[in-house]
Amino acid sequence: MFKKILIANRGEIACRIIRACKELGVKTVAVHSEADKDCMHVKLADQSICIGPASASESYLNIPSIIAAAEISGADAVHPGYGFLAENTYFAEVCEACGLKFIGPSKESIEKMGDKIKAIELMKKSGVPVVPGSDGPVNPDDSKIFQLAKKIGYPVIIKATAGGGGKGMRIAKNDDELKNAVTMAQTEAKAAFGNEEVYIEKYIEEPHHIEFQILGDKFGNVAYLPERDCSIQRRHQKLVEESPSPFINEKLRKIMGKAARKAAMAVKYVTAGTVEFLVDKKGKFYFMEMNTRIQVEHPVTEIITGIDLVKEQIKLAAGQRLSVHSDKIKIRGHAIECRINAEDPDKDFIPSPGVIGKLFLPGGPGIRIDSHVYSGYEIPPYYDSLIAKIIALGADRQETVLRMARALGEVEIENIKNTSSLHSKIMANEAFQKGGVSTDFLQKHIFKD
Ligand code: ADP
SS3 state at 269: coil
pLDDT of residue 250: 95
Q: Is 188's C-beta closer than 6 angstroms to any atom of ligand 1? A: no
SS3 state at 370: strand
How many whole angstroms separate alpha carbon 270 and alpha carbon 265? 9
Q: Which atom of ligand 1 is nearest to the CA of 439?
A: 16
Any catalytic annotation for residue 293? yes
What is the C-alpha radius of gyration for the chain, rounded to an integer number of angstroms?
A: 21
Query: Nearest CA to 100 among 125, 73, 118?
Result: 73
How many whole angstroms separate alpha carbon 424 and alpha carbon 52? 38
102 neighbors 95 (Cβ within 8 angstroms): yes
The letter for the amino acid at 88 is: N
Backbone phi, then psi, for 75, in 5-degree steps? -70, 150
Query: Nearest CA to 6 among 32, 30, 24?
Result: 30
SS3 state at 131: coil
- Starting at the edge strand found earlier in the chain, the sheet holding 27-33 runs 47-52, 27-33, 4-7, 77-79, 101-102
pLDDT in tens, 221-239: 999 999 999 999 999 999 9
Ligand 1, atom 21: closest residue by C-alpha: 203
Q: What DSSP element (H or E) covers 193?
A: helix 175-193
Instruction: Single out the catalytic residue among 261, 293, 397, 403.
Output: 293
pLDDT in tens, 161-190: 988 878 889 999 999 999 999 999 999 999
- Is residue 323 scored above 70 in pLDDT? yes
Q: Is 114's C-beta closer than 6 angstroms to any atom of ligand 1? A: no
Q: Reply yes or no: is the peptide bond before residue 155 cis, omega within 30 of 0.
A: yes
Q: Is 166's C-beta closer than 6 angstroms to any atom of ligand 1? A: yes
CA of 280 to the centre of ligand 1 (A): 13
Domains of the chain, each with CATH number or no CATH: 4-103 (3.40.50.20), 132-202 (3.30.1490.20), 208-446 (3.30.470.20)
pLDDT in tens, 17-76: 999 999 999 999 999 999 999 999 999 999 999 999 999 999 999 999 999 999 999 999
DSSP code per residue over 112-125 = HHHSHHHHHHHHHH
For 212, counting Cβ atoms within 10 Å of its Cβ (0-12 exposed, 13-18 middle, 19+ buried), the class is: buried
pLDDT in tens, 378-429: 999 999 999 999 999 999 999 999 999 999 999 999 999 999 999 999 999 9
287 neighbors 263 (Cβ within 8 angstroms): yes
268 neighbors 110 (Cβ within 8 angstroms): no
Q: Is 287's C-beta closer than 6 angstroms to any atom of ligand 1? A: no
CA of 213 to the centre of ligand 1 (A): 17
Q: Which atom of ligand 1 is nearest to the CA of 160?
A: 3
pLDDT in tens, 189-212: 998 888 999 999 999 999 999 999
Average pLDDT in the 236-264 region? 97
